[in-house]
Each structure stands twice: as structure tokens, then as C-alpha cells.
Amino acid sequence: MCDMIIPIVMVIVGRITWKHCPKHINGMIGYRTTRSMKNIDTWKFAHNYCGKLWWKIGWLMIIPSALMHISLCHSDKNAIGFAGLILVVIQCFIMIVSIYPTERALKKNFNDDGTRR
């Protein structure tokens, strides 16, 4: 069940950031990149875009994660542990790579100074 944590967190956090963006730009909570923190417009856009993306990706990752563990139900502990490790690495990679399309969307919709195109 631990391998389901990342997809579930992505679904929950994605929904929260999509629907309830932090009110103020800050360095502690939220999608924090140089481009997203230019102004409140870029801040809200980044949270909306990344939140929707994480929500979709999280749901998509839940299915193969559950199927993998169902198929390994009667395997030994080492096989389950190794498969779980590989799955978590893939999930973390997907989560980190989701920054790229968000930054690309920010660049497409905003100038370098943060004004809308």
C-alpha cells in the first residue's frame, strides 16, 4: 500500500492546488519556481495548470500501481520490495518531470517579465 502514497498525494495535492491556490506568493507552500513567482497572475496560472496535471497523472498512476501489486500478491518479499522500489522511482520521476510542461505553459502564456502574452 505504501506504493500508492505518491499517486494518492498527487490526486489530493493536485486538486487542492487547482481549486485552492495559495492566496499570496510565498517561498514555503505551493508551486515555487522563478517563473511562477513573477506575479500573482503567473502564480495562479501555474497552480491551476500543475494542479490539473497532477490530478490527472495521479489517477493514471493509481491503476498500474494497484495492478502491479495485485499481480505480485503471492510473490516473495524480495520480489515485492524490488518491484515497489522500481515503482516508487518511476512515480517520483513522473512527479518531477511534470514541472517541465508547467514551465513550458508558463513560458507560452507569459513574457519573461510576467505579463500575459
Each residue's pLDDT tens digit in the chain (117 positions)? 677 899 999 999 999 999 999 999 988 888 999 999 999 999 999 999 999 999 999 999 998 888 887 887 788 888 888 888 899 999 999 999 999 999 999 999 999 999 998
Phi–psi pair at 62, nearest 5 degrees: -60, -40
CB of 21 closer than 8 Å to CB of 47: yes
Q: Which amino acid is at 48?
A: N
pLDDT at 67: 86
Per-residue confidence (pLDDT) for residue 46, from 0 to 100: 96
Place of cell 511562477: 36
Return the beta strands (E) in 1-117 as ranges: none
All cell numbers assigned to 15: 486538486
Residue with cell 498500474: 64
